[in-house]
Amino acid sequence: MSTTTTTTGERSTRTGFGTRLSQAMAARGPLCVGIDPHVGLLHRWDLPDDARGVREFSLRVVEAVAGQVAAVKPQSAFFERYGSAGMAALEETIAACRAAGLLCVVDAKRGDIGSTMDGYADAFLGKDSGFAGDAVTLSPYLGFETLRPAIEAALATGRGVFVLALTSNPEGAEVQHALVDGVPVAAVIARHAAAANVAEIEAGAPLGSVGLVVGATIGSAARDLGVDLAAVRGPLLAPGVGAQGGGAAQIRDAFAGALGAVLPSSSRDILRAGPSVDDLRAAARAINAELRDAVGQVPAG
């Protein structure tokens, strides 16, 4: 456990998210299983296209992978589409992860002007919020500094954030590779994240709690753009494994020098193995083992 002081002077003695994630990856392997209840998957699992179906789907995934992988990542969009009942299912999913000791990254990609970020911080990182997992994804495209309330809330509650930097989709390049005063936007975001992790790292954490989203499909983009992933000293959530074409070889190449920080994430590729809990577990275990070989043993911190 380390003591960190946020920029508003609040002191937290909780074990930070970066440390907890490092420990989980060292103990169980690097994989994060995405919980993306697409309509097609609900049909395939013989579940209704409604909030009850999504709840059953998600709880089955949690049951299958708890104790097997480092984390899960429910995609908020697939719960939001069912209104308040869908959001109740998201809350239940997050609570089930907590009860199972499974880290939960809520993929909500929030980002707004600073005053509104206070609201998102309360919703997704607040001490008593049902939507607060262990970390949340954030969009920095209103300016990294607008995310400060969420970062402060995360550090104060032992939670984390993952800030979009080099996303897995090809369209992301037009924004993320663009130059600002000669520096690619993604490199600017990475520098901000590195600065936000300094206090935790200096206090002895193996990883800070301010991570980046860097897709498993980016190829040589980080190298080509001069985005120093190792210098971030925070976790690197890498979606795009499986259905989007990323795999162990792509991770090894794209994240060379920062492999110990990578949290590769795969959703559809594993979820297609359902609805059987045993089959889901077997699919997750197989991908986790491949990725563990690719990234090597993660230091527990």
Give least dist CB 162 to ligand LLZGTKA7, A: 9
- Enumerate the β-bridge partners of residue 236: 212, 262
HSE (side-chain half, CA atoms, 13 Å) at 147:
28
The residue type of 296 is G
Residue among 120 and 162 whose Cβ is closer to ligand LLZGTKA7: 162
Is 109 a catalytic site residue?
yes
Binding mask 63-102 for ligand LLZGTKA7 (x = CB under 6 A): ------------x---------------------------
Among 4, 19, 244, 250, binds ligand LLZGTKA7 (CB under 6 A): 244
CB 67 within 8 Å of CB 285:
no
Q: Is 213 in the site for ligand LLZGTKA7 (CB under 6 A)?
A: yes
- In the complex, minimum distance from the CB of residue 108 to ligand LLZGTKA7, in angstroms, rounded to a whole number: 10
5: tokens are 């002081």
- How big, in percent rounded to 5, are the helix, strand and coil portions of the chain? 50, 15, 35
Exposed e or buried b per residue across 105-121, where buried means at least 16 C-beta atoms within 10 angstroms of its C-beta: bbbbbbbbeeeebbebb
Asked if 242 touches ligand LLZGTKA7 (CB under 6 A), the answer is: yes
| Half-sphere CA count of 97, side-chain side, radius 13 A | 29
What is the nearest approach in angstroms of ligand LLZGTKA7 to the Cβ of residue 15?
Answer: 26
Residue 211 is a binding residue for ligand LLZGTKA7 (CB under 6 A): no
Separation between Cα atoms, residue 241 and residue 250, nearest integer Å: 9
Size of the site for ligand LLZGTKA7 (CB under 6 A): 19
268 contributes a contact to ligand LLZGTKA7 by CB under 6 A: yes
Q: Binding residue for ligand LLZGTKA7 (CB under 6 A) from 243, 273, 277, 282?
A: 243
Q: Which of 92, 107, 134, 200 binds ligand LLZGTKA7 (CB under 6 A)?
A: 107
Whole-angstrom Cα distance, residue 238 to residue 256?
A: 13
CA–CA distance, 288 with 43 (Å, rounded to integer): 26
Options 57-65, 81-89, 112-120, 261-269: segment touching ligand LLZGTKA7 (CB under 6 A) = 261-269
Exposure letters 162-185 (e unless 16+ CB within 10 A, then b): bbbbbbbeeebbeebbeeeeeebb
Contact (Cβ atoms closer than 8 angstroms) between residue 261 and residue 1: no
Instruction: Please report, as a single letter, which amino acid is at residue 106.
Output: V
22 binds ligand LLZGTKA7 per the rule CB under 6 A: no
Using CB under 6 A, which of the segments 2-10, 52-60, 151-159, 161-169 binds ligand LLZGTKA7?
161-169
Beta-bridge partners for 33: 72, 266
Candidate ranges 57-65, 240-248, 250-258, 278-286; the one touching ligand LLZGTKA7 (CB under 6 A): 240-248
For residues 22 and 75, which CB has a smaller minimum distance to ligand LLZGTKA7 in the complex? 75
Q: Choosing from 73, 109, 148, 233, which is the catalytic residue?
A: 109
3 state DSSP class of 186: helix
Which residues of the shown chain bind ligand LLZGTKA7 in the complex (CB under 6 A)? 34, 36, 75, 107, 167-169, 213, 215, 239-240, 242-244, 265-269
- Catalytic residue ranges: 109
